[in-house]
Structure 1
Amino acid sequence: MIQSPQYKALPKRIILVRHGESEGNLDRSAYTTTPDYKIPLTQQGIAQAKLAGAQIQSVISENGRSNNWKIYFYVSPYERTRSTLREIGRSFSKKRVIGVREECRVREQDFGNFQVEERMKVIKETRERFGRFFYRFPEGESAADVYDRVSNFLESLWRDIDMNRLHNDPSDDLNLIIISHGLTSRVFLMKWFKWSVEQFELLNNFGNCECRVMQLGLGGEYSLAIHHTEDELQEWGLSPDMIADQKWRANATRGDWNERCPWYLDAFFDCLATDSDDSVEEDTDDSLEEDIDDLIV
């Protein structure tokens, strides 16, 4: 796919990566003695991250067919994400990496401090009944809280791109790689693609070191459907409407989304007044004005 010159300054891809398997993924009791941000990767997690680096390199280089590309990393400050970054970085030479930034706003959802295993089990069962997006962990965060800080991060990201703070040469394809956490990455996608809370609740978590590749289409919209298959999108929990939207974005002209607003409004309204109803209302208003004029005369 040849990128249109007018969108050359935009990143060709934004790749979201969940960290590799951590000691906490393997044994939930690890959180009872170790702060969440210090939980390390397992040996399996390190191997996953190395493999992910090779896979991402293959995606970005288009299996070696493309040579004019660069990458910029954003990474959560947690030990497991920093370690994942180090292992992924083994697949890239220094000349390919424009830079890396530790970004606290893409950190893990805050579950509180030291986590008592049995108490957390009950709390997470309660969250499933209450709803994953709005339920706030005691002394911690809800997914809605994560949404707010991810939204703030996205504003900064766009300023960095617009002002070329990433120091990208427009002749190179820029690829942003965000190494973060499962829920944070899902919230990122929710914010980016304007998914509703109900749509967010459908989503399945990323596997360890799984990636979601948002690729820039010819018209300037990003889509998951350029790199990923429909079966993958279904597996991740996207509804048929969400998948249709991703397919549309793959070829849509940037800014056309507003013109498709009626398609999107169907998710919120059972029935809106038709244009003819508006005309009747306007006629009624005109008649009322005429009646008032007659009374004044």
Structure 2
Amino acid sequence: MNPSCSNNNERKNRHKQRCQIAMHREEKSSSSSGVLPKRIIVVRHGESQGNLDPGAYTVTPDHKIPLTPQGISQALSTGSRIRHVISSSSSSPDWRVYFYVSPYTRTRSTLRELAKSFSKKRVIGVREECRIREQDFGNFQVQERMDAIKETRQRFGRFFYRFPEGESAADVFDRVSSFLESMWRDIDMNRLNHNPSNDLNLIIVSHGLASRVFLMRWFRWTVEQFELLNNFGNCEFRVMQLGSGGEYSLAVHHTDEELLEWGLSPDMVADQKWRAHGSKAPSNDQSPRCLEAFFDLITDSDDESVDTEDETDSLSECSRQ
């Protein structure tokens, strides 16, 4: 058989497979019974002993580092602020919350304090989730060595630099991506036992880097954009709220000034504002601004005719065999 004929058949088979996959995804999406959360709120833990004194890591395992009294106070105050955000802008008075929490002592303690602002009626569940734990920094026992390693990470980039015997932000990205897929299955299959007539609010109590990576994964930010982001302050939170067009956006609740202060570029802020009001189709990923970030030059001319002629010639040659 002529190689060009074989290539044409392979292209057709690949196209057919892509169509079948797309149809399967569309059917899965249309059959989904889950109700989208009104908000997804990402919270960093309160001030910990390690934030106050880095030497704490030399005598206490990272996962057992406790909150300081100030951290406990921050968490209690944050719970009140989050409740106000939810209650003041919910379409239904019967709103509910569901919590995901990192298994570390400081995140669990933060959850206990901020949950005091919610009655049992409001809380439909909580799940400890190991995949949103803190980045593994390796062995903290020698503080001088760890300080030098963190300085090296700052010079070489926070996303790909892997701590000796620990993780890089890219490693955290992989496990946070896995968590995100599970979270969507929880919603689609209504594992949260949520009444669709009530506004659902997901609250994720995690750590600074894991929270930034979660937002990066959700909004499909590039590594370059991730490097711009500032860490969450202790007990700071970000509200991703469902916009009028069906997209989640930070710009529904947060101001432009806040987004810029957190390290988002003007283009990233513009995208958040689009998500607050834009429609899901066409995808904003195909906007000229997005394409220009990856390509030096995109011409307006269309060269498909050349490909079509090549394919026609190959088909003609096949028919003559």
- The TM-score normalised by the length of structure 2 is 0.84
Secondary structure, aligned partner of 2:107: helix
Pair 1:67 & 2:93 matched: yes
Pair 1:204 & 2:222 matched: no
Greater mean deviation of Cα atoms: 108-117 or 224-233: 108-117
1:23-44 C-alpha deviation (Å, 9 max, x unpaired):
0000000000000000000000
> Quick one: percent identity of the two aligned structures?
70
Which blocks of at least 5 consecutive residues in structure 1 are unaligned? 1-5
CA distance in 2: counterparts of 1:205 and 1:147, whole angstroms: 15
CA distance in 1: counterparts of 2:247 and 2:313, whole angstroms: 47
Q: CA deviation at 1:67?
A: 1.6
CA distance in 2: counterparts of 1:175 and 1:88, whole angstroms: 14
Greater mean deviation of Cα atoms: 154-163 or 255-264: 255-264
1:89-114 C-alpha deviation (Å, 9 max, x unpaired):
11000000000000000000000134
Alignment size in residue pairs:
286
Alignment of 1:40-55 (within 5 A): 40-55=66-81
Q: CA deviation at 1:272?
A: 2.4
Secondary structure, aligned partner of 1:74: strand
Q: CA deviation at 1:277?
A: 4.0
1:63-100 C-alpha deviation (Å, 9 max, x unpaired):
79852200000000000000000000110000000000
CA distance in 2: counterparts of 1:54 and 1:231, whole angstroms: 23
1:12 to 31, 38, 43: 38
Which residue matches 2:172? 146
Alignment of 1:1-297 (within 5 A): 9-62=35-88, 67-257=93-283, 260-279=286-305, 281-282=306-307, 285=310, 289=313
Secondary structure, aligned partner of 2:121: helix
Which blocks of at least 5 consecutive residues in structure 2 are unaligned? 1-31
Secondary structure, aligned partner of 1:20: coil
| Residues 33 and 189 in structure 2, CA contact (< 8 A), matched pair in contact too | no
CA distance in 1: counterparts of 2:285 and 2:99, whole angstroms: 34
Amino acid at match of 1:56: I
- The TM-score normalised by the length of structure 1 is 0.90
Amino acid at match of 1:204: N
Amino acid at match of 1:263: R
CA distance in 2: counterparts of 1:221 and 1:205, whole angstroms: 24
Which residue matches 1:3? none
Q: CA deviation at 1:193?
A: 0.2
Amino acid at match of 1:59: V
| Residues 140 and 146 in structure 2, CA contact (< 8 A), matched pair in contact too | no
Q: CA deviation at 1:258?
A: 5.5
1:233-254 C-alpha deviation (Å, 9 max, x unpaired):
0000000110010000001222
| Residues 34 and 114 in structure 1, CA contact (< 8 A), matched pair in contact too | no
Q: CA deviation at 1:260?
A: 3.3
Runs ≥4 in structure 1, deviation > 6 angstroms?
Answer: none
Q: CA deviation at 1:282?
A: 5.0
| Residues 8 and 173 in structure 1, CA contact (< 8 A), matched pair in contact too | no
CA RMSD of superposed structures (Å) = 2.3
Q: CA deviation at 1:275?
A: 3.3
1:171-214 C-alpha deviation (Å, 9 max, x unpaired):
00000000000000000000000000000000000000000000
